[in-house]
Amino acid sequence: MNPTALDTAAPAGRRAAVDLAAVREQWGGLLAAIDTPPAAEWPPRECRGFLDQLAARDAELDQVSASATIGRAPLVLREHPAPLNLDALDTALAVERELFELADTIAAAVQRPAHDQDDATDPARWRFPAPSAPTIDPGSRAYGLHWAAVWIEGRALDEMSGDLFAPMPLRLLDETAAVARRCRERVERALGRDGRTTALDRPCPWCGGELTGRTRAGGEPEVTCATGEACGAPVPMSCRGRVWRGAELVDLWAALSGAHR
Ligand SMILES: [Zn+2]
């Protein structure tokens, strides 16, 4: 994504571009998850520190699988003989379909019709699937989700490409931002990453360890200390270390501000 365009674009366009970039960045992980039994993905990998060997082996497998799947033909155009994680496959198919259809809608609204054959095959264009034979000539869908997302980002940020594209109408820009957000949320939910994680800028008042705050979508916030059982804080252990939830958070904030003073 072009940082200058990101600075000057309309807010809805910026939001769309950021969410689409997040979808692209996590796409390889989602494709890898389709071929991984759900039991290996949940609990989320950051909870699996105590199973070091297993985690390391899974990470290797994930890498092999991710590098093998990134850049392959789009999902709609290939077969899934034995998907191991149906949730991941459903999510990937739905997100891919949504972004392809969104690109079609945007192209129909803002892309100038082709003057001649050269113009028609300009790689900057979004090409529609052939109406009579969409699987034989899928148009720009052949390049997969990654290209669709990059192309939509360019339109959302109103990136120049000669006179090929008109600026997006505001209503379409809002729709683009809404679709991008929905797709990002679906991908992150399927990967168990829908919580927000923040490294706190102050250390654990009990042991000086690193504190991490998390907000789960629809769930309660929590803070964990990375030290583990050696931390003397009077709160329970989770797989991530000592964890503060609910009323315990009040005590933590009190201790943190006490330590600060
Ligand atoms: Zn601690």
Reply yes or no on whether the pLDDT at 137 is more than 50: yes
Give, as one character, the DSSP assignment of residue 163.
B
Q: Examine the domain organization and report whether 136 and 181 are in the same domain.
A: yes
Q: Examine the domain organization and report whether 12 and 112 are in the same domain.
A: yes
Q: Examine the domain organization and report whether 249 and 141 are in the same domain.
A: no
**Separation of CA 241 and ligand 1 centre (Å):** 8
Give the model's confidence band at 2: pLDDT under 50 very low, under 70 low, under 90 confident, else very high: low
Q: Examine the domain organization and report whether 113 and 21 are in the same domain.
A: yes
Average pLDDT over residues 83-110: 93
Q: Examine the domain organization and report whether 140 and 180 are in the same domain.
A: yes
Reply yes or no on whether the pLDDT at 209 is more than 50: yes
Name the residue among 43, 32, 28 with its Cα closest to residue 195: 43
CA distance 233 to 44: 25
**Separation of CA 202 and ligand 1 centre (Å):** 11
Residue 186 has a CB neighbour count (10 Å cut-off) of 19
Q: Examine the domain organization and report whether 11 and 133 are in the same domain.
A: yes
**Separation of CA 252 and ligand 1 centre (Å):** 11
- Cα 21 to its chain centre, rounded Å, is 7
Reply yes or no on whether the pLDDT at 44 is more than 60: no
* Alpha-carbon distances, residue 123 vs 86, 117, 118, 131, 221 (angstroms): 34, 12, 10, 20, 46
Count structural domains, the chain: 2
Domain limits for position 234: 197-260
The three-class DSSP label of residue 189 is helix
**Separation of CA 246 and ligand 1 centre (Å):** 17
Reply yes or no on whether the pLDDT at 139 is more than 60: yes
**Separation of CA 226 and ligand 1 centre (Å):** 7
Q: What residues are paired with 199 via a beta bridge?
A: 212
**Separation of CA 256 and ligand 1 centre (Å):** 11
Of residues 76 and 12, which shows the higher confidence score? 12
Model confidence, pTM: 0.65
Of residues 27 and 42, which shows the higher confidence score? 27
Of residues 260 and 175, which shows the higher confidence score? 175
Give the model's confidence band at 48: pLDDT under 50 very low, under 70 low, under 90 confident, else very high: very low
Q: Examine the domain organization and report whether 210 and 186 are in the same domain.
A: no
Q: Examine the domain organization and report whether 101 and 173 are in the same domain.
A: yes
Average pLDDT over residues 147-157: 96
Per-range mean pLDDT, top range of 48-57, 112-121, 127-136, 190-199 = 112-121
Give the model's confidence band at 1: pLDDT under 50 very low, under 70 low, under 90 confident, else very high: low
**Separation of CA 249 and ligand 1 centre (Å):** 13
Report pLDDT digits (tens) over 188-197.
Answer: 888 877 766 7
Q: Examine the domain organization and report whether 47 and 174 are in the same domain.
A: yes
**Of 16-20, 31-35, 89-93, which gets the smallest average pLDDT?**
31-35
Domain edge (last residue) among 190, 205, 228: 190
pLDDT at residue number 226: 93
Report pLDDT digits (tens) over 217-253.
Answer: 544 678 899 999 999 999 999 888 999 987 888 888 8
